[in-house]
Every structure is written in structure tokens, then in C-alpha cells.
Structure 1
Amino acid sequence: MVHQSLLLKIALYKEYPYLSQFIIKANEELNPEIAEAIYNINQRKKNNYLGQIFENVDYSKFKEGTDIDDLFKMIEWCGDGIWNEGINSNHSVDRMYQQAIKMIDFFKQAVYKQEYFER
């Protein structure tokens, strides 16, 4: 599911190459009322997005003791880091996608039970 989400995001950025700059500018809004409205919209969309991504997760695949909430936060933080570095360094969307896939594979190896880890 996470791979599908990444593919969708990549397709959007390829079709709308200035979307990332628009998103950055929107989040830098100085008018407090507009900034709050943008923040609220982003939070609702983010919660909906994360819910859709993780609703079909098979939790039985995770190693015993894996803190799922912390794992999801770490994946989100790493994804944000890949995005921010990519934008600031003018990396291609394809490069950011490849980095995200490596990150997801890293987390799978760290938290999946051996019998579920795909090599």
C-alpha cells in the first residue's frame, strides 16, 4: 500500500511539476487566518491519507514488540526528510521515489518477521 501511495504521488508531481513549489508557498502563508485554514486542511487530509495507507496493514507480520505508532511516525519523518532534501537539492521526483523505496525496505527489514521479509 505504501508503494502504491508513492507511485501516485510521483505521478502527480510528474504531471504537475510546480505542485511542490505551490505546496511550499502555501505553507509559508503569512496571513494568520489563511495560514490556520491551510493548516487545518492539511491536518484533515493527512489524517485521511494516513488512515487509508495503514488501514490494510497486516500487523501479524511485525516482529514482537514493534511499536506501530512509533514506526509510522518514523516512516513519516523519513519521508518528509527525503521530500525536503529533494526539493532543496533539486532532486528529480524519480530519485526521491527511489530513496523512499530504500527507506521502506530498510524499515521492513528492521520490523518484519523474517518469514515475511521479501528480498
Structure 2
Amino acid sequence: MNEAFFALPEEKRQRILNAALEAFAKHEYKKASTDDIAAKAGISKGLLFYYFHNKKELYLYLLEYANEAVRRAAQEANLREETDFFEMLEKGARAKTGILEQNPYLLDFTVRSFYSSQEEVSQAVAASYQQKVGSAFPDYFSHIDFSKFREGADPAYLFRMLTWMTDGYMHEARQRGIPVDSGTVMEEFRRWSQIFRRMVYREEETGGAPGGKPEEPAQEKGADTE
């Protein structure tokens, strides 16, 4: 892309990015109109392609922009201070949803791009996500206290499962035309985390009873049970 884009005032750069995010969030890649993007951003189409040589380059930059925004939010949340696997995941999810709240189209764009298929950008998008998922665990979880896990549990695979569930939940909501807000996503994420916590953590880490539920006090023999 043209370095002249980065020389623009912040407000103008953000206006262009927001217009592009809105277009690609609402439409599949091939149906998103660069004419609409330019008009929404308040620039000519020729100028848009001066900054970004073509539509694909603009789209892939948006993907990089979204990934960087999430990475920066995670960094600012000081995730490395948290040693519990599930607490760190929730802290990271809150940081991510905070970024998404700042730009309502960023969430829809990331969900739509994740399920991109048979389009000009699909192969590049798939490669980007594979790289992101592959590097996320060693990058963010190296400091976690894995001694809390039961023998045989696979934290890396569990992380991928939670990622799939979150992305799948948002995709299903979008397919059904149901608005997805960060509060609802976080509520569901906490439910899934609690279920998995009881499944994979040692008993002493989940309240001392199998399944993570506190043990009921034993009834004394002959005690009134009514």
C-alpha cells in the first residue's frame, strides 16, 4: 500500500478505514462497493486506489488492522500478570470486546472474514487466521500455571475449542440476523469457561468436589430429612 496513507491526519485515516469496515462488514467481498467506500469516506475513488492499489489490498490491510487492534488491546490489558488460564482468557475477551465496541463494524467484519470462502481473498484470509491461531498460544500462555489442569488435559486444544465456539456463536447470530453485542458474547463466554473449568481443572481448583460443585455436608445417620 502507499505510504501516503499513513501521512494523512488521523481523523481522515480513521474515516477511510471505518467506511471500508462498514462496507465489508455488510457485504461479501465481491459485493462490497469501493464507490460506496470512497463516498462514505469523503474522497474520490481514484484517491482511494492511490492509497490502496486495489480492493484486495484494502481488504487485507483491514484484516491486519483488526488483528493489530486486538493484539494492542491484549497488551494494554497486561494479560501476562494473570497466571490462571480461564481468568486470563476472560480478561483477554473483555479487552477484545472493548475494542469492538469502539468500532461497531469491526466485529461483523472479523466474523464475516473468518467465514470467507471461494472469494479472491479467501486463501489469504485462511492463511492469516492459521498463523494467528498457531502463534497465539505460545505467545500469550507461556506464563500460565498449568499445574491446575487434570492429567491428560490439553490447554492448547481447549483454547482452540473456545475460539471456535466464540466465532461460531457470532457467525450463527449474524446468519440469523440477530444483533451481537459484546455483553451477550461475554456472558456466553463465561458460561462456556465455567463448564470447561469444571471438566479440566483438578478438584481442588474447582471447589473440592467432582464437577466443580461444593460438596454437600453429609447427613447424620437418622437425621430428619423432611
Q: 1:46 to 1:25 in 2, by over 3 A?
A: same
Which among 145, 163, 185 is matched to residue 76 of structure 1? 163
In structure 2, what is the Cα distance between the partners aligned to 1:73 and 1:66?
13
* Higher mean C-alpha displacement, 104-113 vs 63-72: 63-72
In the alignment, structure 1 segments of 5+ residues that lack a partner are none
Structure 1 residue aligned with 2:185: 96
1:69 Cα deviation after fit: 4.4
Aligned counterpart, 1:105: 194
The percentage of aligned residue pairs carrying the same residue is 24
For 2:113 and 2:166, the matched residues in 1 are separated by 19
Q: With CA pairs under 8 Å and 6+ residues apart, which has the higher RCO, 1 or 2? A: 1
Structure 1 residues 40 and 87: alpha-carbon distance in aligned structure 2, compared to 1, 3 A threshold: same
C-alpha deviation, 1:50, in angstroms: 3.1
Task: Give the aligned CA root-mean-square deviation in angstroms.
Answer: 2.4
Number of equivalenced pairs: 117
SS in structure 2 at match of 1:18: helix
Mark the structure with the bigger radius of gyration: 2
Alignment of 1:55-70 (within 5 A): 55-70=142-157
Cα 1:81–1:59 shift into 2, 3 Å: same
TM-score by length of 1: 0.78
- Structure 1 residues 48-72: Cα deviation after superposition (integer angstroms, max 9, x where no partner): 3333333222221011232444433
| Structure 2, gaps ≥5 residues long | 1-87, 213-226
- Name the structure with the higher helix share: 1
Using structure 2 for the length normalisation, give the TM-score. 0.45
